[in-house]
Amino acid sequence: MQDNSVTKTAKLTIDGKEFDLPIYSPTLGPDVIDVRKLYAQANVFTYDPGFTSTAATDSSITFIDGDKGELLHRGYPIDQLAEKSHFLEVCYLLLYGALPTALELDDFESRVTSHTMLHEQMMYLFRGFRRDAHPMAIMVGVVGAMSAFYHDSTDITDPWQREVASIRLIAKMPTIAAMAYKYSVGQPFVYPRNNLDYASNFLQMCFSVPAEDYEVNPILSRAMDRIFTLHADHEQNASTSTVRLASSSGANPFACIAAGIACLWGPAHGGANQACLEMLREIGTVDKIPEYIARAKDKNDPFRLMGFGHRVYKNFDPRAKVMKQSADEVLDLLGIHDNPTLQVAKELEKIALSDPYFIEKKLYPNVDFYSGIILDAMGFPTSMFTPIFAVARTVGWISQWKEMIEDPAMKIGRPRQLYCGATARDYVDVENR
């Protein structure tokens, strides 16, 4: 982990008593005040519901500058990776900290490829779900159940088993997501094909049928690969923090990733891509936009503009910028011109970004605003949008999990609270209540 050398000291005075708190400086971003000894020294907790100002860990994987709208993976800007790299190379970068040589990349890709099939017995798990089950419900269940099938990679104290579990999860998530989709549409499962690249393989597992040949459209597989890259990792977001907290108890990696999938599902997080496209469809036409903007601004209306706003980005989400270009490209190359949903999205973005409410609250389109338009054009139902996010984010969850497990200072996460409940009182028998 980073060498936390004290650069400055913060002085805290409570009831006339002064406490010195060490301050560490990161390579990028704000300094941090170390409050680990505060409770022991001053008998007080810090208070930060939602962790808006709390650094829960050291990390060297991803850095976001919310004001500049910058996203770095091991120092490499996301727009360069999206343009010049590809998803499995980004996976290597996130996992091992450096861009691979050609030989290292070839070895990594063949290791992932040789783990793409799912244990045959796991097919029966899918049959336990209703056909109309949300694919995210299936993914939470099936990924968690991997703990019951891959016993030789659940011991987190064994580096070799950790490595195998990481490769298995990256390799099998597309297979599981595709199976969840096939199950929902009543089509037979399609096995992975090892002669295809990661994104092409996912598309063929989703859209090919035994009754005819299937040619992967290179435009779609390039767009699919780029969508995976744009969703790969994002610092200590809610689902990553869930994976870290679950892993801190020593739970096996499959159970922890299942917890991350469950958290990602929420509409405030990874579920926003599905909610955003459904919102754009509900708006339907450009003339309806003002009504929805008014609702988003109305304090008494719980409606929020899905795909807008972010805890960290107070400027454009760089991923949204790349996604917007990609949406234009893909629709154009597919010959889908004046797509009504894309028109509504662009007009909504334009109107919102000139509205004082959104300007003042620094609300910009996030990664979920345009992704749904591309996925929809590819033929995915909205219910598959968040599973695709989960496929991509698995490498981020695993990389952060690996970083935490390998940290000798790791301890179980256990936040405290500001208790505002009843003080101690005696039990009252029911006849006396």
What string of DSSP letters covers 10-28?
EEEEETTEEEEEEEE--SS
CA nearest to 187, candidates 202, 206, 200, 173? 206
Q: Which is nearer to ligand SDX, 11 or 299 (CB)?
A: 299
263 near ligand SDX (CB under 6 A): no
- Rounded to a whole number of angstroms, the minimum distance from the CB of residue 352 to ligand SDX is 9
71 near ligand SDX (CB under 6 A): no
Q: Which of 86, 233, 310, 376 is catalytic?
A: 310
Which span sits near ligand SDX by CB under 6 A: 105-113, 331-339, 359-367, 409-417?
Answer: 359-367
Residues 304, 314, 315, 347: which binds ligand SDX (CB under 6 A)? 304
Q: CA-to-CA distance for 279 and 307, rounded, in angstroms?
A: 9
Residues 70-83 as b/e (b if ≥16 CB within 10 A, e otherwise) read bbbbbeeebbebbe
What type of residue sits at position 314?
K
Q: Which is nearer to ligand SDX, 71 or 330 (CB)?
A: 71
Query: Which residues are within 8 A (CB) of 73 and not within 5 positions of it... i.e. 6 or more apart?
Result: 61, 62, 81, 90, 93, 94, 232, 233
269 near ligand SDX (CB under 6 A): yes
Residues 320, 363, 392, 395: which binds ligand SDX (CB under 6 A)? 363
- Output the CA–CA distances (angstroms, integers) from residue 235 to 241, 261, 269, 416, in the order listed: 9, 16, 14, 23
Is 368 assigned a catalytic role? yes
HSE, side-chain direction, 13 A CA sphere, residue 354: 6
- Rounded to a whole number of angstroms, the minimum distance from the CB of residue 305 to ligand SDX is 4
Asked if residues 201 and 174 have their Cβ atoms less than 8 Å apart, the reply is: yes
Binding residues among 206-235 for ligand SDX as defined by CB under 6 A: 234
Q: Which is nearer to ligand SDX, 144 or 365 (CB)?
A: 365
- Rounded to a whole number of angstroms, the minimum distance from the CB of residue 151 to ligand SDX is 31
Q: Which of 368, 407, 426, 429 is catalytic?
A: 368
172 near ligand SDX (CB under 6 A): no
- Rounded to a whole number of angstroms, the minimum distance from the CB of residue 226 to ligand SDX is 15
Task: Give the three-state DSSP class for 352.
Answer: helix
Radius of gyration, CA atoms only, the chain? 23
374 near ligand SDX (CB under 6 A): no
The tokens for 179 are 């199976």
Which span sits near ligand SDX by CB under 6 A: 40-48, 78-86, 308-316, 407-415?
Answer: 308-316
Please count the residues of this chain forming the interface with ligand SDX, following the rule CB under 6 A.
Answer: 21
387 near ligand SDX (CB under 6 A): no
Report angle CA 354, 358, 359 to the nearest 5 degrees.
Answer: 65
Give the β-pairing of 32-33 and 62-65. unpaired
Q: Which is nearer to ligand SDX, 222 or 310 (CB)?
A: 310
Q: What is the DSSP letter of 135?
A: H
Residue bearing tokens 């992932």: 112
Q: Compute the Cα dihedral for 236, 230, 203, 90 and give only its sign.
A: negative
- Rounded to a whole number of angstroms, the minimum distance from the CB of residue 310 to ligand SDX is 5
Is 310 assigned a catalytic role? yes
- Rounded to a whole number of angstroms, the minimum distance from the CB of residue 270 to ligand SDX is 6
Residues 144, 174, 253, 309: which binds ligand SDX (CB under 6 A)? 309
Residues 88, 95, 176, 305: which binds ligand SDX (CB under 6 A)? 305
Binding region for ligand SDX (CB under 6 A) = 234, 237, 268-270, 272, 296, 304-312, 361, 363, 366-368
Return the active site residues. 310, 368
